């Protein structure tokens, strides 16, 4: 029987590169869908595939149960596994493989793109110029420098470290909190360790979120935490939309407590009509494209495809190095 693969990540499908030839070379039957797919759509497809090559699709316990015993492996294009019930997959000895170390540079670049756009009023000003407002006597917007402003990083993993090195290059003092803090990196790059997330919030002019979404981090930026922050602080979120409580952020922007919010992620993707952040003051939202560059897509897609092929082909070294989840 021909091996059937569900390919649902749109970045993989939409970006040319050698990953397409690699996948095609295996002779699999590829079924392409435009993800991220909600649970109902995944349930409708479940049970007919030997492997998922997925993005941020909802692969819940129900989806896994319906997919077994035919489903042999889940190969995640990307890093975050919060949309996959990894705990249940582990009980079923269903491997969940991801692609760490392939998108940290481009996500860090996007983080700074959001920061500079907010502080320099780039998006706002460019739109005004496009609309013909640049005329004699026009009152131009005034931005802020980031030189000397304190960058606070919550989550000093691969992406957080890349943000830290860029912040130092811009002349920003860097403080960070991570329960698994890398002392060697911090010493080498002049990053100050904070004892808690709250300390970062108290001291930072810019707070950049680079942590996974779980029961401890969901809604971590809320009314109480925002109240601890400096007036006019900026929050950047290129991790997961659910790390912040949307209504709290919107209110803080309206009141001027937050000076800006820049995010590449939302709590609902795509956003529902009228999503509050889309019209919020001093807010920039991009469509989950921080890792969507030709270079990064190729790296992620090749890694995810190799993971899939190597597991299905029974590569013993690969399987031993990538035990469940």
pLDDT digits (tens, 9 = 90+) for 6-32: 999 999 999 999 999 999 999 999 999
Rounded mean pLDDT of 18-47? Answer: 97
Q: What is the pLDDT of residue 72?
A: 97
Task: Clarify whether residues 240 and 123 are in a common domain.
Answer: yes
- Chain-centroid distance of CA 161 in Å reads 15
Is a pLDDT exceeding 60 seen at residue 262? Answer: yes
Is a pLDDT exceeding 50 seen at residue 323? Answer: no
Q: What is the pLDDT of residue 316?
A: 53
Residue 273, Cβ neighbours under 10 Å: how many?
6
Rounded mean pLDDT of 122-127? Answer: 94
Is a pLDDT exceeding 80 seen at residue 77? Answer: yes
Task: Clarify whether residues 117 and 20 are in a common domain.
Answer: no
pLDDT digits (tens, 9 = 90+) for 147-171: 999 999 999 999 999 999 999 999 9
Structure letter (DSSP) for residue 59: B
Task: Clarify whether residues 138 and 202 are in a common domain.
Answer: yes
> What spatial distance separates the first Cα and last Cα of the chain, rounded to whole Å?
27
Q: Is 131 one of the catalytic residues?
A: no
3-state SS, residue 63: helix
Q: What is the pLDDT of residue 1?
A: 79
Task: Clarify whether residues 60 and 173 are in a common domain.
Answer: no
Task: Clarify whether residues 16 and 113 are in a common domain.
Answer: no
Distance CA 256, CA 25 (A): 55
Rounded mean pLDDT of 215-222? Answer: 96
Task: Clarify whether residues 272 and 172 are in a common domain.
Answer: yes
Q: What does 211-236 look like in DSSP terms, one character per residue?
A: ---STTTTT-BSHHHHHTSPTTEEEE
Is a pLDDT exceeding 90 seen at residue 106? Answer: yes
Assess contact for 208 and 160: CB atoms under 8 A: yes
Q: What is the pLDDT of residue 315?
A: 76
pLDDT digits (tens, 9 = 90+) for 292-318: 999 999 999 999 999 999 999 987 555
- Given the residues 288, 292, 299, 303, the one annotated as active site: 288
Structure letter (DSSP) for residue 207: E
Q: Is 228 one of the catalytic residues?
A: no
Task: Clarify whether residues 92 and 17 are in a common domain.
Answer: yes
Is a pLDDT exceeding 90 seen at residue 324? Answer: no
Task: Clarify whether residues 223 and 234 are in a common domain.
Answer: yes
Tell me the CATH number at 112: 3.40.50.720
- Given the residues 240, 292, 299, 303, the one annotated as active site: 240
CA dihedral of residues 10, 15, 21, 27 (deg, nearest 10): 10
Task: Read off the pTM.
Answer: 0.89
Task: Clarify whether residues 279 and 306 are in a common domain.
Answer: no
Rounded mean pLDDT of 199-205? Answer: 98
Q: Is 240 one of the catalytic residues?
A: yes
3-state SS, residue 270: coil
Task: Clarify whether residues 223 and 263 are in a common domain.
Answer: yes
Assess contact for 234 and 283: CB atoms under 8 A: no
Could you tell me the CA-to-CA distances from 168 to 47, 59, 188 in Å, in that order?
Answer: 50, 39, 12
Total domain count, the chain: 2
Task: Clarify whether residues 265 and 207 are in a common domain.
Answer: yes
Task: Clarify whether residues 120 and 97 are in a common domain.
Answer: no
Locate 193 and state its tokens: 């360790």
Q: What is the pLDDT of residue 325?
A: 35
Distance CA 240, CA 209 (A): 9
Assess contact for 291 and 103: CB atoms under 8 A: yes
- Chain-centroid distance of CA 78 in Å reads 9
3-state SS, residue 120: coil
Is a pLDDT exceeding 70 seen at residue 322? Answer: no
Confidence of residue 320 (pLDDT cuts 50, 70, 90): very low
Residue 46, Cβ neighbours under 10 Å: how many?
22
Assess contact for 307 and 97: CB atoms under 8 A: yes
Rounded mean pLDDT of 113-117? Answer: 98
Distance CA 251, CA 246 (A): 9
CB contact burial 232-270 (16+ within 10 A = b; e otherwise) = ebbbbbbbbbbbbbbebbbbbbeeebbbbbbbbbbbeee
Q: What is the pLDDT of residue 76?
A: 97
The domain in which residue 84 lies consists of: 4-102+294-321
Is a pLDDT exceeding 80 seen at residue 261? Answer: yes
Q: In what order do the strands lie in the sheet with 283-285?
A: 191-193, 174-177, 151-154, 206-209, 233-237, 258-263, 283-285
- Given the residues 269, 275, 298, 306, the one annotated as active site: 269
């Amino acid at each position: 029987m021909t091996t059937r693969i569900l390919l649902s990540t749109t970045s993989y499908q939409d970006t040319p590169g050698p990953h397409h030839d690699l996948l095609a070379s295996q002779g699999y039957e590829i079924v392409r869908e435009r993800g991220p797919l909600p649970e109902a759509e995944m349930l409708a497809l479940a049970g007919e595939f030997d492997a998922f090559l997925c993005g941020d699709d909802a692969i819940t316990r129900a989806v896994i149960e319906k997919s077994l015993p035919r489903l042999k492996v889940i190969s995640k294009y990307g890093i975050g596994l919060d949309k996959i019930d990894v705990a249940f997959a582990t009980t079923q000895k269903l491997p969940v493989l991801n692609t760490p170390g392939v998108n940290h540079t481009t996500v860090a670049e996007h983080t700074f793109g959001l920061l500079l756009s907010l502080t320099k009023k780039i998006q706002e000003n460019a739109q005004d110029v496009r609309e013909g407002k640049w005329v004699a006597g026009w009152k131009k917007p005034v931005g802020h420098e980031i030189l000397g402003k304190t960058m606070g990083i919550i989550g000093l993993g691969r992406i957080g470290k890349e943000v830290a090195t860029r912040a130092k290059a811009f002349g920003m003092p860097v403080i960070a909190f991570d329960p698994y803090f890398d002392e060697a990196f911090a010493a080498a790059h002049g990053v100050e360790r904070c004892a808690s997330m709250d300390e970062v919030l108290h001291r930072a002019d810019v707070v950049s979120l680079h942590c996974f979404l779980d029961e401890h981090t969901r809604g971590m930026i809320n009314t109480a935490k925002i109240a601890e922050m400096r007036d006019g602080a900026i929050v950047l979120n290129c991790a997961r939309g659910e790390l912040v409580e949307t209504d709290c952020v919107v209110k803080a922007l309206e009141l001027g407590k937050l000076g800006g919010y820049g995010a590449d992620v939302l709590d609902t993707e795509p956003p529902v009509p009228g999503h509050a952040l889309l019209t919020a003051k001093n807010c920039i939202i991009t469509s989950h494209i921080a890792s969507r560059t030709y270079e990064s897509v190729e790296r992620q897609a090749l890694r995810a495809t190799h993971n899939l092929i190597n597991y299905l082909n029974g590569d013993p070294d690969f399987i031993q190095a990538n035990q469940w989840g």
